[in-house]
């Protein structure tokens, strides 16, 4: 099955609900009115929905579904240059090039239960297959099995894992891992962290400490801070992203479990509100079910074939 087919399967619930609600072949204004309700129901959000409808109305495109697809793609690309290229008809495709991280350290954050450790393993596999020399840091020292789970993945993938005993200071572990990466000449360090509620002030402060520790060991790092987000939480995901962004300055978002939700539109308000790009999306439990995000493929899967 192609990746586009997987995305379509993953977003099937969202797409079915949307297409069931919108009479694509009807009167244009009726179509747009129903589309407004359908997009909001899919957790696209009110502001993003209004922006999409405005873009569709100003496009002059007679095929409304194609106009909506393009408007969604423009919403999903916070970089102004990429938006302009979309306007000109250029179609960037993230699947055709490596998602090259800035710097050498990626700090992975998120709430409990989003599949963060498994996502790190999949990223490790992705970058190892791209020729990167990868190192893991098992920074989830709160859970008894936190470090063990990543260690199992590391052994399976042939990726070394920096670990510490249960209850150890995660900032100290992150510091040691960042130093180890430099000393051993690894291209990329992926740092796991314990899942934490975005509303817990003390835990968010601890996350800031982890980030500072990495910077002390390796100035300028982490080059990336990526939030792992469970798509099934819908609009609550935007609240999570906002809190983590305020605390540690997100540079990207990874959205998992798109195959288990009818709220697949939540990616759009996250990008719109934070100006932070979606880096990868996950539509299954398999090792290759996490792939670079592409706005065109996403819009195609969300809306289906042209009407």
Residue 228, SS3 per DSSP: strand
pTM to 2 decimals?
A: 0.90
Residues 111-145 pLDDT 10s? 988 889 999 999 999 999 999 999 999 998 876 66
In 3D, which of 262, 246, 240, 301 has the Cα closest to residue 254? 240
Residue range 20-30: mean pLDDT, rounded: 92
And the tokens for 54?
Answer: 């405005």
β-strand partners of 31: none
Q: Where is pLDDT greater, at 94 or 131?
A: 131
Cis status, amide bond into 231, omega within 30 of 0: no
Residue 225, SS3 per DSSP: strand
The CA distance from 200 to 46, in Å, is 28
Q: What is the pLDDT of residue 88?
A: 64
Q: What is the pLDDT of residue 305?
A: 57
**10 touches 283 (CB < 8 A):** yes
Residues 195-219 pLDDT 10s? 877 677 888 899 999 999 999 999 9
Q: What is the pLDDT of residue 94?
A: 47
The CA distance from 293 to 3, in Å, is 11
In 3D, which of 31, 7, 3, 52 has the Cα closest to residue 255? 7
Least confident of 11-15, 81-85, 179-183: 81-85
> E strands along 58-140, which residues?
105-109, 134-137
Under the banding of pLDDT at 50, 70 and 90, the label for residue 307 is: very low
Residue 62, SS3 per DSSP: coil
Residue range 8-28: mean pLDDT, rounded: 88
Find the helix or strand (DSSP H, E) in which 303 lies. Answer: helix 295-303
The per-residue pLDDT of the chain, averaged, comes to 87
The CA distance from 89 to 67, in Å, is 12
β-strand partners of 256: 230
Give how far Cα 145 sits from Cα of 95, 117, 123, 150, 278, Å: 33, 11, 20, 9, 29
When mean pLDDT is compared over 50-54, 83-87, 191-195, the highest value belongs to 50-54
What value, to the nearest 5°, has the Cα angle with vertex 32 and ends 26 and 37?
A: 115
Strands 290-292 and 278-282: antiparallel
β-strand partners of 292: 280
Residue range 218-231: mean pLDDT, rounded: 95
Torsions phi, psi for 269 (to 5 deg): -65, -30
Under the banding of pLDDT at 50, 70 and 90, the label for residue 306 is: very low
The fold for domain 3-93 equals 1.20.120
The fold for domain 100-294 equals Rossmann fold (3.40.50)
Least confident of 15-24, 33-42, 267-276, 280-289: 280-289
**154 touches 99 (CB < 8 A):** no
CB-hemisphere CA count at 13 Å for 158?
7
Q: How many angstroms separate the most distant Cα atoms in the chain?
A: 65
Which residues of the chain does CATH 3.40.50.300 include? 100-294
Q: Where is pLDDT greater, at 224 or 263?
A: 224
Q: What is the pLDDT of residue 123?
A: 96
> At residue 278, does pLDDT exceed 50?
yes
Which residues of the chain does CATH 1.20.120.140 include? 3-93
The CA distance from 31 to 29, in Å, is 5
The CA distance from 217 to 237, in Å, is 32
Torsions phi, psi for 302 (to 5 deg): -70, -35
Give how far Cα 302 sits from Cα of 70, 133, 179, 204, 259, Å: 12, 35, 43, 34, 12
């Amino acid at each position: 099955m192609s990746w586009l087919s997987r995305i379509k399967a993953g977003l099937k619930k969202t797409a079915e609900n949307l297409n069931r609600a919108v009479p694509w072949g009807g009167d244009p204004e009726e179509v747009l009115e129903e589309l407004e309700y359908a997009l909001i129901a899919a957790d696209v959000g009110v502001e993003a929905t209004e922006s999409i409808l405005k873009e569709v109305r100003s496009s002059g495109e007679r095929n409304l579904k194609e106009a909506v697809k393009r408007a969604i793609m423009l919403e999903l690309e916070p970089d102004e240059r990429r938006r302009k290229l979309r306007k000109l008809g250029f179609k960037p495709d993230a699947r055709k090039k490596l998602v090259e991280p800035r710097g050498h350290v990626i700090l992975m954050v998120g709430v409990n239960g989003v599949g963060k450790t498994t996502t790190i393993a999949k990223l490790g596999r992705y970058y190892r297959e791209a020729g990167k020399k990868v190192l893991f840091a098992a920074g989830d020292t709160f859970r008894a099995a936190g470090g063990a789970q990543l260690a199992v993945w590391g052994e399976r993938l042939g990726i070394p894992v920096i670990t510490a005993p249960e209850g150890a200071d995660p900032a100290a572990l992150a510091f040691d891992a960042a130093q180890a990466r430099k000393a051993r000449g690894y291209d990329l360090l992926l740092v796991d962290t314990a899942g934490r509620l975005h509303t817990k002030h003390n835990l968010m402060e601890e996350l800031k400490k982890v980030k500072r520790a990495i910077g002390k060991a390796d100035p300028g790092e982490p080059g990336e801070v990526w939030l792992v987000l469970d798509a099934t939480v819908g609009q609550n995901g935007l609240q999570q992203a906002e809190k983590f962004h305020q605390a540690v300055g997100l540079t990207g978002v990874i959205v998992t479990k798109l195959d288990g939700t009818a709220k697949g539109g939540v990616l759009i308000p996250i990008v719109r509100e934070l100006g932070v790009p979606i880096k990868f999306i996950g539509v299954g439990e398999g090792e290759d079910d996490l792939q670079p995000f592409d706005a065109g493929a996403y819009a195609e899967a969300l809306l289906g074939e042209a009407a």
